[in-house]
Amino acid sequence: MPFKRFVEIGRVALVNYGKDYGRLVVIVDVVDQNRALVDAPDMVRCQINFKRLSLTDIKIDIKRVPKKTTLIKAMEEADVKNKWENSSWGKKLIVQKRRASLNDFDRFKVMLAKIKRGGAIRQELAKLKKEVAAA
């Protein structure tokens, strides 16, 4: 299988280790084989090891080391936030965060909803089984 996600200027990546865990950053320059200069609208530009990054499919169109305002404008144009939140990876992370932040009452509501959904599935299954048995 050929590689599809490359380290390149403008590649959006997710930080998967360390202080900035969970943050979406843009690779703005490559320091050397192991490190990239990375930037996001709400943080100071810093260098980070590739081991701490997970590359995503999203890429924006920027030149090497753009100014912060240029970066923000390019991110708006490429609509990174929406693309990320509509991707299956992004959606999973949002769900994980939501689940981690439930309080006890919410978990109770989830339990009731799961029971209701299970009941509806079982009713449908019973109907299908009866049709098969009748046929």
Partner 1 sequence: MVAYRFHQYQVVGRALPTPGDEHPKIYRMKLWATNEVRAKSKFWYFLRKLKKVKKSNGQMLAINEIFERNPTTIKNYGIWLRYQSRTGYHNMYKEYRDTTLNGAVEQMYTEMASRHRVRFPCIQIIKTATVHFKLCKRDNTKQFHKSNIKFPLVYRKVRPPIRKLKTTFKASRPNLFM
Residues that bind partner 1 in the complex, under the rule CB under 8 A? 1, 3, 5-9, 16-17, 21, 29-32, 37, 44-47, 50-51, 54-55, 63-65
Q: Report yes or no: 4 and 56 within 8 Å, Cβ to Cβ.
A: no
To the nearest whole angstrom, how small is the minimum distance from the Cβ of residue 83 to partner 1? 18
To the nearest whole angstrom, how small is the minimum distance from the Cβ of residue 34 to partner 1? 10
What ranges in 21-103 are assigned the alpha helix state H? 68-78, 80-86, 88-100
To the nearest whole angstrom, how small is the minimum distance from the Cβ of residue 84 to partner 1? 17
Task: Compare residues 15 and 80 and give the one whose CB is closer to partner 1.
Answer: 15
Task: Compare residues 45 and 83 and give the one whose CB is closer to partner 1.
Answer: 45
Task: Compare residues 19 and 112 and give the one whose CB is closer to partner 1.
Answer: 19
Q: Report yes or no: 47 and 24 within 8 Å, Cβ to Cβ.
A: no
To the nearest whole angstrom, how small is the minimum distance from the Cβ of residue 135 to partner 1? 41
Residue 17, C-beta contacts closer than 8 angstroms, at least 6 positions apart: 51, 52
Task: Compare residues 3 and 105 and give the one whose CB is closer to partner 1.
Answer: 3
Q: What angle do CA 29, 25, 31 make, to 5 degrees?
A: 20
Nearest CA among 63, 70, 59 for reference residue 25: 59
* Tokens matching residue 111: 């339990």
